[in-house]
Amino acid sequence: MTLPTNFSELKDFLNDKVATYNEPSFIENDPITIPHQFSKLQDIEIMGFWSSMLAWGQRKTIINKSNELIQLMDGAPHDFMINHEEKDREKFLNFKHRTFQVIDTLYFLEFFQTFYKKNNSLEVAFSQFLQPEEEHIGSALKGFHELFFALPNAPHRTKKHVATPVRKSTCKRLNMFLRWMVRQDDKGVDFGLWKNISPSQLLMPLDVHVDKVARKLNLLDRKQTDWKTVLELTQKLRAFDEKDPVKYDFALFGLGVLGEI
């Protein structure tokens, strides 16, 4: 593949790849298919969040484990969260995914039950920490992490499964989840259900595929891959579309996972 050599060529190239990959047939084997099984806002939120938090390793395994969770919640995640009793958590004692263990599963259940008994949407868990004029969602990610682990018995080990900029993490899985919930178009991939966070404030989900392609296209100067790298890449992509820079996740990830670059 001949790579673009100037700004105009790169913009056209990336926009073309966004159009190619931002469509339902490309996501058949992607974790976003999990929340697409639902139409109820809260079900989409719960399984969108949980499947994105499990999103490391083989995508087929991630999808299988997420479907296992849905079965354990009787196919109705929000209803289960609101109405289940402590004894109903016993059937989750064999659920695990890589380093995501039973103690992590039980805490996720406790957080969701506590939260949804008081709130209608998971959006507020992020948006309450974000001001409309802020350039990006960094403060929302930091605030959400603190809120998520605010329950008295929050296990320390579970914190490694929910990232925060405070640890200089790329927060890839959280940024991916927020892309799903906030970005809105007519392509049928991202949901666009949350309205209190602007697509312009989103940050790139930076995984190994996106990182590799971004460097090949000279979109990154920073040698490390950390929180500052996410900010640098997103800022570079704002030059192509300041209102929706994270749409280029489709292009960079697609080019990487399919080995085109």
pTM above 0.85, yes or no: yes
Q: Is residue 1 part of a domain?
A: no
CA dist., res. 175 & res. 63, Å (int): 19
Is the pLDDT confidence value at 260 over 80? no
**Mean pLDDT on 141-151:** 98
228 lies in some domain: yes
Residue 2 lies in a domain: no
Q: Of 96, 230, 123, 112, which Cα lies nearest the Cα of 180?
A: 123
pLDDT at 2 over 80: no
- Domains contained in the chain, number: 1
- Of the candidates 191, 194, 231, 189, the one whose C-alpha atom is nearest the C-alpha of residue 214 is 231
pLDDT per position as a tens digit, 94-135: 999 999 999 999 999 999 999 999 999 999 999 999 999 999
In a domain, 58, yes or no: yes
Say whether pLDDT at 154 is over 80. Answer: yes
Tell me how far the alpha carbon of residue 51 is from its chain's centroid: 9
Q: Residues 25-80: pLDDT tens digits? A: 988 889 999 999 999 999 999 999 999 999 988 889 999 999 999 999 999 999 99
Residue 241, domain member (yes or no): yes
Residue 66's domain comprises 7-257
* Model confidence at 258: pLDDT above 90: no
Kind plus residue range of the DSSP H or E element containing 178: helix 172-182
Q: Kindly state whether residue 18 falls inside one of the protein's structural domains.
A: yes
| Mean confidence (pLDDT) of the chain | 96
- 126 in a structural domain: yes
Beta-bridge partner residues of 100: 97
For the ranges 4-8, 53-57, 178-182, the maximum mean pLDDT occurs at: 178-182
- The full DSSP string for 1-63 is -PPP-SHHHHHHHHHHHHHHHSSGGGGTTSGGGTGGG--SHHHHHHHHHHHHHT--S-HHHHH
213 located within any domain? yes
